């Protein structure tokens, strides 16, 4: 993590005030995460003001703090650096620190799969380089600077996830991080409420080109027309992946097993790959990773080693063992129509289980067509491969309506009360059943997962 004197930090943020030769070790915006010798950065939000907690941060171990000039009553007994805007200062500190490091940056965005791809990239490149990656969901205008400030001086590659909720956000993050290579996993329906259309989403994701090094590749889903028609291939180095043989990297075989996925690709026909991740859709994420590994010169045997050692961030197609030998696919972190259909298809493809059950929650931020999106998910569920459908939430009731088009009434349950859902689910699950749990983050469906364990 960043290790500088307070004087050096003052210079890096164009601040005023503290000139002490105090050593700071890392930065924090939250008193709950402060460690010894941290620099505290008090952020002002809609419902909080970090300046109220500066003294607490020092009591927890921070040695100094930034202070926004328009905030009253700065403490006299704490080393302070005065800045015009503490958030902008945090971002400026991260940008200047990154420029001081000899590190390559990989930027990853996309509607679905960016966290899984980040984990794959870090695992594969980690076989050859010292790699650090975005931890948790620190992928926005606050999280990305904090991730950068956690980089060690000798880190060779930083794998940075870039999230967004609206137009212009990816452009800002890309200009801040200046990636040497970038990946767009796909274009889905997330954020339709804010961006209006899939075309708008594609344009927002392509903002990652803003800070991309001219010699670095843009690696993107080549089967997506919205990306293909918007990438000016005369001005950017590009690499595509997908299912069709028009892509630079495409799969030649895919086999889903209960513990992961085997696949081969055109570039390495004699070298089958295995990822310990469920879902054929994750082969696309793996091919994006392979393309990037090739760019950085990672040998194919190391690529396979990296895949085999892969640890996926929790609640993303995570296979768990529950009570009474019940199996659970915990995919409760987030959901969109594309990712939900892919997760259901994954469950349909798995063999060797007594009953297959889906528990599906509301998909949020889908805009004016949200009810129809839910209904179409329900219609797409195969009644010959799925035994029971449970839904939770007002919008998810439309999944139940779609499922009832072809399921028997007693096979579909719609709830607005989570405890009632759990009670009914527990009365149905038996030994060697498998349950898929998926919904948007706000639905907190991990509570259903916990009840099964």
Q: How far apart are the first and last CA of the chain?
A: 37
Same domain, 24 and 162: no
Report the distance separating Cα 12 and Cα 349, nearest Å. 54
Global pTM reads: 0.87
- pLDDT value for 191: 63
| Helix H or strand E segment including 315 | none
Same domain, 133 and 28: no
Same domain, 139 and 259: yes
Query: Residue 63: which CATH number?
Result: 3.40.1390.10
Residue 313 is assigned to a structural domain of this protein: no
Query: Residue 354: which CATH number?
Result: 3.90.190.20
**Residue 115 in contact with residue 167, Cβ under 8 Å?**
no
Grouping H, G, I as helix, E, B as strand and the rest as coil, residue 148 is helix
Point out which residues pair with 329 in neighbouring strands: 319, 436
Residue with tokens 């991260």: 94
| Helix H or strand E segment including 249 | strand 249-257
- pLDDT value for 238: 95
CA dihedral 325, 331, 337, 339 (to 10 degrees): -100
**Residue 138 in contact with residue 144, Cβ under 8 Å?**
yes
Report the distance separating Cα 106 and Cα 103, nearest Å. 10
Residue 268 is assigned to a structural domain of this protein: yes
DSSP 8-class letter at 153: T
Same domain, 133 and 247: yes
**Residue 416 in contact with residue 391, Cβ under 8 Å?**
no
Same domain, 38 and 108: no
- pLDDT value for 21: 85
Residue 403 is assigned to a structural domain of this protein: yes
**Residue 266 in contact with residue 250, Cβ under 8 Å?**
yes
| Helix H or strand E segment including 337 | helix 337-349
Q: Given 58, 91, 124, which residue is the final one in a domain?
A: 91
Residue 446 is assigned to a structural domain of this protein: yes
Report the distance separating Cα 403 and Cα 378, nearest Å. 4
Residue 257 is assigned to a structural domain of this protein: yes
Q: Domain count of the chain?
A: 3
Give the list of residues 6+ apart from residue 314 with CB closer than 8 angstroms, or none: 330, 333
Point out which residues pair with 358 in neighbouring strands: 389, 436
What tens digit of pLDDT does each residue of 12-23 get?
Answer: 999 998 767 899
Q: Is the pLDDT of residue 157 over 70?
A: yes
- pLDDT value for 357: 98
Same domain, 117 and 242: yes
Query: Residue 121: which CATH number?
Result: 3.40.1190.10
Same domain, 279 and 148: yes
Average pLDDT along the chain: 94
Report the distance separating Cα 363 and Cα 385, nearest Å. 23
Report the interhelical angle of 282-295 vs 300-308 (nearest 10°). 140
Same domain, 157 and 261: yes
- pLDDT value for 244: 95
Same domain, 112 and 143: yes
- pLDDT value for 314: 77
Report the distance separating Cα 189 and Cα 337, nearest Å. 7
Q: Is the pLDDT of residue 178 over 90?
A: yes
Q: Is the pLDDT of residue 168 over 90?
A: yes
Same domain, 445 and 338: yes
Token output for 13: 């943020």
Q: Given 91, 124, 152, which residue is the final one in a domain?
A: 91
CA dihedral 439, 444, 446, 448 (to 10 degrees): -90
Residue 297 is assigned to a structural domain of this protein: yes
Low-confidence winner among 165-179, 195-209, 283-297 (lowest mean pLDDT): 195-209
- pLDDT value for 165: 78
What tens digit of pLDDT does each residue of 348-399 get?
Answer: 999 999 999 999 999 998 988 999 999 999 999 999 999 999 999 999 999 9
Residue 396 is assigned to a structural domain of this protein: yes
Same domain, 81 and 186: no
**Residue 149 in contact with residue 164, Cβ under 8 Å?**
no
Token output for 352: 């060797």
Domain range for 139 is 101-308
Q: Given 91, 115, 141, which residue is the final one in a domain?
A: 91
Residue 96 is assigned to a structural domain of this protein: no
Same domain, 337 and 192: no
């Amino acid at each position: 993590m960043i290790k500088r004197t307070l004087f050096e930090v003052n210079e890096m943020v164009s601040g005023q005030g503290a000139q002490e030769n105090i050593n700071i070790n890392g930065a924090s915006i939250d008193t709950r995460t402060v460690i010894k010798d941290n620099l505290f950065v008090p952020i002002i939000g809609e419902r909080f003001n970090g300046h109220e907690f500066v003294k607490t941060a020092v009591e927890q171990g921070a040695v100094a703090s930034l202070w926004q000039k328009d905030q009253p009553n700065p403490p006299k007994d704490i080393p302070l650096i005065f800045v015009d805007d503490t958030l902008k200062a945090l971002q400026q500190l991260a940008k200047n620190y990154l420029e001081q490091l000899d590190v390559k940056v990989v930027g990853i965005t996309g509607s679905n799969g960016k966290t899984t791809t980040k984990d794959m990239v870090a695992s594969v490149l980690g076989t050859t380089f010292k790699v650090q990656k975005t931890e948790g969901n620190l992928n926005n205008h606050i999280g990305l600077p904090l991730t950068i400030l956690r980089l060690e001086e000798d880190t060779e590659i930083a794998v940075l996830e870039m999230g967004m909720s609206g137009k212009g956000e990816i452009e800002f993050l890309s200009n801040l991080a200046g990636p040497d290579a970038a990946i767009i996993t796909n274009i889905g329906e997330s954020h339709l409420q804010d961006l209006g259309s899939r075309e708008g989403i594609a344009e927002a994701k392509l903002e990652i080109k803003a800070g991309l090094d001219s010699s670095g590749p843009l690696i993107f889903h080549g089967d997506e027309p919205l990306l293909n028609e918007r990438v000016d291939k005369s001005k950017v180095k590009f690499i595509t992946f997908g299912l069709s043989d028009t892509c630079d990297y495409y799969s030649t075989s895919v086999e889903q097993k209960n513990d992961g996925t085997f696949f081969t690709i055109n570039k390495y026909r004699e070298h089958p790959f295995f990822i310990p991740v469920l879902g054929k859709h994750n082969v696309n994420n793996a091919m994006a990773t392979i393309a990037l590994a090739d760019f950085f010169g990672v040998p194919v045997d190391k690529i396979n080693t990296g895949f085999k050692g892969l640890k996926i961030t929790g609640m993303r197609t995570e296979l768990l063992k529950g009570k009474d030998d019940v199996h659970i696919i915990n995919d409760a972190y987030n959901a969109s129509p594309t990712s939900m259909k892919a997760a259901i298809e994954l469950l349909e493809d798995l063999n060797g289980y007594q009953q297959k059950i889906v528990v599906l929650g509301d998909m949020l931020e889908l805009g004016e067509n949200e009810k129809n999106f839910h209904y179409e998910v329900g219609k797409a569920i195969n009644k010959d491969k799925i035994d029971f459908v449970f839904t939770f939430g007002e919008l998810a009731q439309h999944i139940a309506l779609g499922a009832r088009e072809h399921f028997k009434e007693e096979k579909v349950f719609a709830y607005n009360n989570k405890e009632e859902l759990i009670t009914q689910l527990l009365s149905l699950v038996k030994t060697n059943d498998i349950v898929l749990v998926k919904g948007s983050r706000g639905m907190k469906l991990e509570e259903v997962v916990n009840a099964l364990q």
